[in-house]
Structure 1
Amino acid sequence: MVTLAYLRRRRVQAELAEAFEVSQSTISRATAAVTPLLAGVLEQCVPTADDLDDRSSHIVDGTLLPCWSWASRPESFSGKHRTTGLTVQVVRTLDGRLRWVSDPLPGSRNDIVGLKASRVLDGRDPSIRLGDKGYIGSDILTPIRKPRNREQPDRKKEFNRHRNSIRVVVERAIAQLKTWRILHTDYRRPVGTFTDTISAVIGLYFYAAE
């Protein structure tokens, strides 16, 4: 219960200690022990890249899971988001349902690097996958970039408007994942525990969705 409360609501350890009438160190030890166990037990609930339906169109997106600034780990700094964290790639259906989440990478890695590292498109037709401007050059369907110092033709503007209207819907998937507040606000436990925490939350998310 302590660990779930911490992951779901990111309740402060001192507050949890008071609520459960134990010491803060007990809360810390419980969270550290249970989180990797949850990640391991729930691994079977998490879809793999092989589970994706190749007959369906999907949207690929990246998101940063923020963490406290660790001076010894500059690779965690994301220039795009101007903060530190780990980044994951997600695949969603056109109606916004989350279908797959990659292993986390340092926040400095951009979306194309993350997509290639995940290998989720290996052996798949990239042309039926959609992505934002961060994936331009990856062969998936992306918005049409506006030419420098020139107006964009109306047909290209309309294409971008239609594509953006789809993204409004699918952004819900990431928002729903981040209702687990530990992934939404700065992660402050030791950096070596962040990957297990991410895996545990993803497992809980898909377990709850079954």
Structure 2
Amino acid sequence: MNNILKHIEENPKETQRLIGLEYEQLQQLIQNAERLHYEKQALLESQKVRIIAGGGGRKQKLSLREQIILTLVYLRHLTTFQLLGIQFGVSESTANDTFNYWLPYLRELMPSSLIEQVKKNASDYEVVKEILTDYELIIDSYEQVRERPGDNNEQKKYFSGKKSNHTFKSQMIILPDGSDIVDVVAGEPGPKSDITLFREYRSEFDTKQRFKGDKAYIGEDLITTPIKKPRNRELTTEQKEQNKMFSSKRIFIEHRIRSVKIFRVVQERFRLNPHKYEQVILTICGLVRLRIRALILPLEISAISSG
């Protein structure tokens, strides 16, 4: 048994520090990921034309549970695949392959937002959009440094003067109390303005939907923003108090973005293939929704160490 898995089983209260989820949430995720794995494998097996019986080949060094935890450890701590392989007793390439195998499974299991969760059912989607109009949703975006693109046109497209680096931009919309992520857009070019990004994806919501944003969204009628300081003048005491009150209501979006950045793959320079960026960020958002209990996965009565 891998030392990390053994440590989690012996010290379940430390699971959140190691993985980013509580022990029970990790248990839910492992059970659902294993079930999805077996379903996919059964489907592939049914489509094969076999000459010899199945069940042969080299046995995997890691159990399914260890493979899933390896993937979560990478997302949480952003270690190198070489070091990850040493930690789990496998080669660097096996650690890399394991991560790339399980990432899309985790992405499939955990919708990144409320909108994504209900969008598969058109009637549910319309109902949720209508319900959301009762709230003034909070919106913000953030940039993350990426590797410099090799193509000259691409590097110009992603170079952000604000960060003096090449960046991706992601947009997040949450409920007023931060209790759920309503919508996520990930992997846009960093230089794209916040208001332009919002307008490009505005159609996801009802035309009556209202939002609350920072000064980057001034000029958008649908978004309430702080009072801007007039040129060569100061804000009045009353206006400053209004802005302070506004910030206290908007702080929940900062907390939610911070909870996403607990996973260091979102916090530091993105080193993976840039085409995987959206998949990784949306997977992290799904993990955060599971962490804050906005997303509940089916749970069977069993322990991580069973089976």
Class of the TM-score when normalised by the shorter of the 2 chains: 0.7 to 0.9
Residue aligning to 2:254: 171
Which residue of the other structure, out of 137, 143, 149, is the alignment partner of 2:219?
137
Which residue of the other structure, out of 123, 128, 139, is the alignment partner of 2:207?
123
Contact 2:158 2:191 survives alignment (8 Å): yes
1:63-86 residue CA offsets vs partner (Å, 9 max, x unmatched): 223322324332222333333332
Pair 1:46–1:149, CA change in 2 (3 A): closer
Q: Alpha-carbon deviation of 1:199?
A: 2.0
* Structure 2: segments with no counterpart, 5+ residues: 1-68, 117-124, 296-307
Question: Percent sequence identity over matched residues?
Answer: 28
Which residue of the other structure, out of 113, 134, 146, is the alignment partner of 1:55?
134
Give the secondary-structure state (helix, strand or coil) at the position aligned to 2:114: coil
2:232 is aligned with 1:149: yes
Which residue of the other structure, out of 44, 52, 67, is the alignment partner of 2:146?
67
1:7-64 residue CA offsets vs partner (Å, 9 max, x unmatched): 1221221111101111111111222222122212323x63117445221222111122
Greater RCO, CA 8 A, separation 6+: 1
Q: Which one has the largest radius of gyration? A: 2
Q: TM-score, normalised by structure 2?
A: 0.62
1:144-196 residue CA offsets vs partner (Å, 9 max, x unmatched): 11111122233222211221233344411110111111111111011112122
Residue aligning to 2:65: none
Contact 1:2 1:31 survives alignment (8 Å): yes
Which residue of the other structure, out of 97, 104, 110, is the alignment partner of 1:29?
97
Q: Which stretch has the larger CA shift, 28-37 or 136-145?
A: 28-37
- Paired positions, count: 207
